[in-house]
C-alpha cells in the first residue's frame, strides 16, 4: 500500500516511502522508484527508465524526437531493461542483445535526498560514450553510487546510436544528428522536471566521456542547448577530434540502403532510401550497418567513425550548421565554464592486441596513413612528410616495437 500526500501547488514534491519503494507525483504522472544503498551505507533514491521522448518508431524513425506523453496509473521506475540498438557489444554480454530496442529513449534520475525535503541540489547530466554506436546510461552501465555521497543529483539518458542516431543523407529528408537531438530533449526534460526530484534546474552541469565528451562540446555549438546547462565537462573527447565527425555520410547512408534492398541503387533519391529504412525491421538495419569493415585507408579513429554527428543543411531544426573549427574561430561557442581532460590509460588493454599491433606495423610501413582528411593534403609525398613529422612529435620517430612504446601510445 502506498500513501501520497498532496501539498497542492507543490506538484511532485510530495511523496511517501513504503518499504523500499517510493512514489513521486510529476506533471506527467505518478512514478514509483526505489530506495537504494551506496558504497558506504548511504541511501539514495533511484527512478529508472523514465520516458523523456516518444518511442522513435514508425514515422519517428530517422526523425527528430518528440516529447513523451503523460501516462495513466503508476509508472514503474524500479528497473532499467531497455537499451538502444548497439553496433558492438562493449561489455561482451549476450544479455544486451535481448535488451536492444528502438523504444529506448529513457533516462534515469538518482538523488541522495528524499524529494519531499524540498531540496534544490546541483544536477549532473552524464552523456555516455561508446563511439556513437554503443553504450547506455542504464543503472548497470553507469551507476550513481559515488556521486550519491556528495549531495548531487545524477541524470543518465539513453540516446539513439549507430544508424538510428546518426545516419544522414545530407539533406532535409534524413538530416541526421538524431542522437544529439535526443540528448537535447533529455536536457529539456531535466530543465522542466528536475525540481520535482529535488534538483535545481539553474545549476545543471553536462558531462560525458569519449563520444559523450564529443557530444557535450557539440552542445556548446547549439544555441538551443545553451540555456539548458550552466557548465560542461569533457573527458577524452571533443567536437574537434577526427573520429567525432563523418565526412562520407551520404555514401555510408546509401551503403546501408544497398545492403537492405538489392534493387536499391546509388541513383535512388533520399526519399526512396527513407522509405526502405522505415519498412525494414530495426534488427536488419542494425545488422547491415554493423557489417561495414574498417581498413587502414579508412581507419575510423583518424577518418571519423561510421555514424557520427555531421553538418546539416540549414533548416529550422538543424543541430549543427557549421564545421566545428570554423564555428570555434568565429566565437560561436557557448561561453560557459568548461573542463577538459583525458581518461587515464583508456583502452590500454588493447596494447598487445594482435590486430592493434598489425595496424601499427601498417602505419610504420606508410606514414602517410597518419594524415586524416581534415588536413586536406592530397599529394602523396607531402602526406608522407607530414606523417613523419607527426611521428617525430609523438614518438620521437621510434617504431612501435620499441620497448615501452605501446604504453606511451
Residues 40-78: pLDDT tens digits? 888 999 999 999 999 999 999 999 999 999 999 999 999
pLDDT at 376: 84
CA separation for the pair 5, 58 (Å, rounded): 40
Which residues, including other chains, have CB under 8 Å from residue 254's CB and lie 6 or more apart? 169, 264, 266, 268, 273
CA separation for the pair 98, 94 (Å, rounded): 8
Mean pLDDT, the chain, integer: 86
Give the largest CA-CA distance in the chain. 76
* Average pLDDT estimate for 252-271: 91
DSSP letter for each residue of 275-336: HHHHHS-HHHHHHHHHT----GGG-HHHH--SS---PPPS-TT-S--S-HHHHHHTT-S--S
More confident residue, 3 or 268: 268
* Average pLDDT estimate for 371-394: 87
**Residue spans of alpha helices (H) in 3-153:** 95-99
Which residues, including other chains, have CB under 8 Å from residue 405's CB and lie 6 or more apart? 395, 398, 399
Give the domain ranges of the chain. 36-66+82-246+307-341, 348-408
- Top-tier CATH class for 36-66+82-246+307-341: alpha beta
Cα 405 to the center of its chain, rounded Å:
31
Count the alpha carbons within 13 Å of 224 in the hemisphere toward its beta carbon: 14
pLDDT at 299: 64
Q: Is 83 helix (H, G, I), strand (E, B) or coil?
A: strand
* Average pLDDT estimate for 278-283: 96
Task: Tell me which DSSP letter residue 260 carries.
Answer: H
CB atoms within 10 A of CB 82: 18
| Grid coordinates of 117 | 525535503
pTM assigned to the model: 0.86
Q: Is 252 helix (H, G, I), strand (E, B) or coil?
A: helix
pLDDT at 295: 59
pLDDT above 70 coverage of the chain, percent: 88
Least confident of 49-58, 87-96, 99-108, 209-218: 87-96
pLDDT at 15: 47
pLDDT above 90 coverage of the chain, percent: 61
pLDDT at 408: 30
CA separation for the pair 13, 319 (Å, rounded): 34
Amino acid at each position: 500500500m502506498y500513501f501520497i500526500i498532496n501539498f497542492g501547488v507543490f506538484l511532485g514534491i510530495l511523496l511517501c516511502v513504503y518499504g523500499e519503494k517510493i512514489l513521486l507525483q510529476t506533471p506527467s504522472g505518478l512514478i514509483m522508484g526505489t530506495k537504494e544503498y551506496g558504497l558506504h551505507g548511504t541511501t539514495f533514491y533511484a527512478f529508472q527508465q523514465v520516458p523523456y521522448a516518444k518511442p522513435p518508431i514508425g514515422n519517428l524513425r530517422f526523425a527528430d524526437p518528440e516529447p513523451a506523453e503523460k501516462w495513466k496509473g503508476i509508472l514503474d521506475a524500479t528497473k532499467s531493461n531497455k537499451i538502444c540498438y548497439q553496433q558492438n557489444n562493449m561489455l561482451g554480454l549476450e544479455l544486451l542483445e535481448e535488451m536492444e530496442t528502438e523504444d529506448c529513449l529513457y533516462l534515469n534520475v538518482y538523488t541522495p535526498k528524499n524529494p519531499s525535503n524540498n531540496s534544490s541540489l546541483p544536477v549532473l547530466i552524464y552523456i555516455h560514450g561508446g563511439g556513437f554506436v554503443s553504450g547506455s546510461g542504464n543503472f548497470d552501465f553507469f551507476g550513481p553510487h559515488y556521486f550519491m555521497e556528495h549531495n548531487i543529483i545524477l541524470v543518465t539518458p539513453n540516446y539513439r546510436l549507430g544508424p538510428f542516431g546518426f545516419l544522414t543523407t545530407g539533406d532535409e529528408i534524413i538530416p541526421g544528428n538524431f542522437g544529439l537531438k535526443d540528448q537535447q530533449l533529455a536536457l529539456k526534460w531535466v530543465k522542466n522536471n528536475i525540481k520535482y526530484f529535488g534538483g535545481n534546474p539553474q545549476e545543471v552541469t553536462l558531462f560525458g566521456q569519449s563520444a559523450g565528451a564529443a557530444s557535450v562540446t557539440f552542445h556548446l555549438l547549439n544555441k538551443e542547448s545553451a540555456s539548458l546547462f550552466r557548465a560542461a565537462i569533457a573527458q577524452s573527447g571533443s567536437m574537434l577530434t577526427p573520429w567525432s565527425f563523418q565526412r562520407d555520410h551520404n555514401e555510408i547512408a546509401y551503403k546501408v540502403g544497398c545492403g537492405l534492398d538489392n534493387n536499391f541503387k546509388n541513383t535512388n533519391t533520399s526519399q526512396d532510401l527513407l522509405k526502405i529504412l522505415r519498412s525494414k525491421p530495426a534488427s536488419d538495419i542494425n545488422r547491415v550497418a554493423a557489417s561495414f569493415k574498417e581498413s587502414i585507408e579508412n581507419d575510423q579513429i583518424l577518418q571519423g567513425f561510421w555514424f557520427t554527428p555531421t553538418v546539416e543543411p540549414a533548416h529550422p531544426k538543424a543541430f549543427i550548421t557549421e564545421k566545428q573549427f570554423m564555428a570555434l574561430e568565429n566565437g560561436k561557442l557557448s561561453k560557459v565554464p568548461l573542463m577538459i581532460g583525458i581518461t587515464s590509460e583508456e583502452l590500454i588493454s588493447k596494447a598487445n592486441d594482435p590486430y592493434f599491433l598489425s595496424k601499427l606495423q601498417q602505419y610504420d610501413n606508410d606514414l602517410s596513413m597518419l594524415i586524416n582528411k581534415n588536413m586536406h593534403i592530397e599529394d602523396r609525398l607531402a602526406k608522407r612528410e607530414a606523417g613523419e613529422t607527426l611521428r617525430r612529435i609523438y614518438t620521437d620517430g621510434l617504431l612501435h616495437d620499441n620497448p615501452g612504446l605501446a604504453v606511451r601510445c
